[in-house]
A and B are shown apart, each in its own frame.
Chain A
Amino acid sequence: MILYQPENHLALIAKVEAFAGDKLLGREEKSHYHQFRVRGADAKDLVRFLRDEPSLGFTYFIDLTAVDYQTYPQPQPERFAVVTTLLSPKLGIRAQVKAFVAEGDPRIPSLTDIFAGANWTEREVWDLYGIEFLGHPDLTRILMPDDFDGHPLRKDYPLKGRGERGNFPVFHATTRKPAEEA
């Protein structure tokens, strides 16, 4: 078990701020992790730095997901955010990289060459949010059917869909008459 050591947290903040510089849009200390906010184009460099810096060692890829801020009350830098959560077994600290992605150009570099485990999570984000991951080896749908149109976890997607429930082929059948059964 790794005890809480404040100097580790301070070192993480100092190193990330020194690395990112002006690219760091914001930083926040949550109850059990640190969050660093950057633009989408800068996210991959920061994730690679967190993994490869020997004194940090964020080698454990926990999750990658996304947020749609379209109806969020507080203004955000962009509509979408891709959130990557990492863990450092060395320090016992979690770090989160929140990368903002523009609505008109929803593209972000893929993390699959850094963390192979990001493959399916990035497919899920593409499937449900429509954020394209540049350099992904197989960016196809993973949850919705292959012929599905749209990205249903976006806030502007109607809850009851756009007619998918009625878009099934109609087959014809007759009602068997009792006389025919005999």
Chain B
Amino acid sequence: MGMSGSTNDFVTTTLATAIGWARANSMWPMPFGTACCGIEMMAAFMAKYDASRFGSEVMKFSPRQADLLIVSGRISLKMMPVLQRIWEQMPAPKWCISMGACASSGGVFDTYTLIQGIDQFLPVDAYMPGCPPRPEAFFDALMMVQEKAKKGQSKALEYITDDAVSDPAQSVACRTPDNNYVHNVDRSTPSAEKASHDKIADDKITRDGVAPGTSK
């Protein structure tokens, strides 16, 4: 996108570039701060670090008016359906930042109750290391998301919601957000999905590629 001299009153660009430029510089974040990373996220939005320099000063506590989900803090198994519901309520195009070690990998909390990385359930666009990360790291991740937005990229676009089950050859068994809006899944009945530690190890393989027993 080129801004030429003042003698010309027009700009030539493509529509996709203009839309990407507008989206990247007007990110409206939906904060999901559950731990100390949330404090650093607040600091990043306050006057000293000032996220409004990047056009994302409008912190929206309603997911329907937001397009950037910032998961800052540890997410428990009980909280994950809530977070998935919030993600589904956000209108596309949307991006997700996994802020801090806990959201990205579980951090030091390798326990029965904590999600070991929200990317098992949400399409994450940018990961942020640190415990907690500094606001500078937050801006690094924000700029990475902005770069993706300018190019029209989003991890959420890699998942579509039509019935992939009808075409198993195209499907990749993965733990995605609740695409089919099946929110009241009965998890009390024991099934083959009732996993042991070995099953968890198998599932990590299926996330990356082909489900065991099926060919791609």
Q: Which residues of A contact B116 (CB under 8 A)?
A: 165
- Nearest-neighbour CB distance to chain A for B61, whole angstroms, equals 25
B113 touching A144, Cβ below 8 Å: yes
A166 touching B199, Cβ below 8 Å: yes
Tell which of A161, A165, A169, A175 touches B193, judged by Cβ atoms closer than 8 Å: A169
Q: Which residues of A contact B173 (CB under 8 A)?
A: 170, 172
A7 at the interface (CB under 8 A from B): no
B111 touching A160, Cβ below 8 Å: yes
How many residues of B are counted as interface, with CB atoms below 8 angstroms from the partner's CB atoms?
43
- Report the nearest B residue to A161, measured CB to CB: B112
Q: How far is the CA of A166 from the CA of B188 in the complex (A)?
A: 13
B172 touching A165, Cβ below 8 Å: no
Chain B residues touching A, majority SS: loop
> With A157-B112, A167-B195 in contact, do A176 and B160 touch (Cβ < 8 Å)?
yes
Q: Which residues of B contact A158 (CB under 8 A)?
A: 112
Chain A residues touching B, majority SS: loop
A171 touching B187, Cβ below 8 Å: no
> With A173-B171, A173-B176 in contact, do A161 and B113 touch (Cβ < 8 Å)?
yes
Q: How far is the CA of A72 from the CA of B16 in the complex (A)?
A: 66
Q: List 17 A-B contacts (CB under 8 A).
A: A147-B187, A147-B188, A152-B112, A158-B112, A160-B110, A163-B197, A164-B113, A165-B77, A170-B203, A171-B174, A171-B175, A172-B164, A172-B171, A173-B160, A173-B176, A175-B170, A181-B157
Other CB < 8 Å A-B pairs besides A162-B112, A163-B199, A181-B157, 9 of them?
A144-B113, A159-B112, A160-B197, A167-B195, A170-B193, A171-B175, A171-B182, A174-B162, A175-B158
- Please name the 9 residue pairs, one residue from A and one from B, whose CB atoms are nearest each other, closest first: A161-B112, A166-B195, A174-B164, A166-B200, A147-B188, A173-B176, A173-B159, A163-B195, A172-B171
Which residues of B are in contact with A by a Cβ distance under 8 Å?
77-78, 80, 110-116, 121, 157-162, 164-165, 167, 170-180, 182, 185, 187-188, 193-197, 199-200, 203
